[in-house]
Copies of this chain bind each other. A is one copy, B any other.
Amino acid sequence: MRYSRSRKGAPGIVEVAARAGVSIATVSRTFSQPDMVRPPTRMRIEQAADELGYIRNRAAGALHNRFSGTLGLVVPTIDNAIFAELIEAFSARLRDFDRTMLIAAHGYDLDLEVAIVRSLLERRIDGIALVGFDHAAVSMNMLQQRDVPVISVWNFREATDIPCVGADNVAAARTVVRHVLDLGHRDIALLFPDVGSNDRARDRMNGVLQELRIANVTTAPDRLISCPYDIGEAKRLVRELVSGTRRPTAIVCGNDIIAHGAFYACYAEGVRIPDDISIVGIGDFRGSAHLEPGLTTIRLPARRIGSIAAGSLVQMSDTGMPPDTFNQQVASELKDRGSTTAV
């Protein structure tokens, strides 16, 4: 077997035109603006295209009209419950518009993000979705200079430079904390990822602190635990936390993955949820509902965000205007399941 390096056999618009006995212009129109060509002609062309196995070359078209039909999506990581749903929804929605998706992950490395944005720009994407608001100025400049539509996904804020669609992470965090406070908990441990270059985690942390302050609850320094985005590590940290004598009555986790780890830690240590300890997460990932007991958490509608973002981005690309709603908030929803109880 051998793959020709030249793709010589591939018929182009020219061959189709010859076979159908029309000009290449008409063939082009048959595929890009079908109703500009008379049905009989169109049918002849379509048949010729079929017989030759013609597949249109969008790269060539893009060269001329500067629209590639491809949108970029840049996420911190693909390998991860949260973003997977977002990605899938984004991609599926794009399909409705006959667009494709170039995707890349930067692993929370802003320099790599710059390289990625550049690489996407080299492919002349029609628009780009970035997770969150923390981005290198270089990236934003490149995008702005070329007038490429940008949308920030996942997080929501009232006033932003670029359009966004997402949930209010501050509010979400406050909601779960209030829920825990309402149940009477006062000795609350906080397991949160590093908030370095991650506005979502930062917003959540801020929300938590705000709500605690309002309730006049103080948190001892050793109750504020930095925990990476990793079940194993979360489990380890929580085992340590709950096995000692000074066990908190509740744990607020920065996301559901950490909460899962906390669950397993409690199973391992024989600590009963929610009788001995209440646990809440943020995100409502796949599986959270089916943990035993179900995880109390707040649902951030990832699919909805992905779908809306794709729609908005396509609209921006098509119209050249910002989306109808510049700052689009999607509602988060507290899922009160079995992992929390009154103290």
Contact = CB atoms under 8 A, between A and B. Distances in A.
Nearest to A92: B105
Identical chains in the assembly: 2
Interface stretch (A37-45, A219-227, A259-267): A259-267
Nearest to A83: B84
A274 interface: no
A211 B105 CA distance: 41
Contacts of A320: 2-5
A7 B290 contact: no
A147 B231 contact: no
Interface string A203-233: 0000000000000000000000000000110
Interface in A77-109: 77-81, 84-85, 87-88, 91-92, 95, 98, 100-105
A66 interface: yes
Contacts of A92: 105
Interface stretch (A49-57, A184-192, A240-248): A49-57
Contacts of A291: 264
Interface string A124-151: 1000000000000000001001111100
A78 B70 contact: no
B290 A122 contact: no
A147 B7 contact: yes
Interface in A1-28: 1-7, 9-10
17 contacts: A3-B316, A3-B317, A3-B320, A4-B147, A9-B146, A55-B118, A55-B122, A63-B63, A68-B123, A78-B87, A79-B84, A79-B88, A100-B102, A101-B103, A102-B102, A231-B287, A268-B292
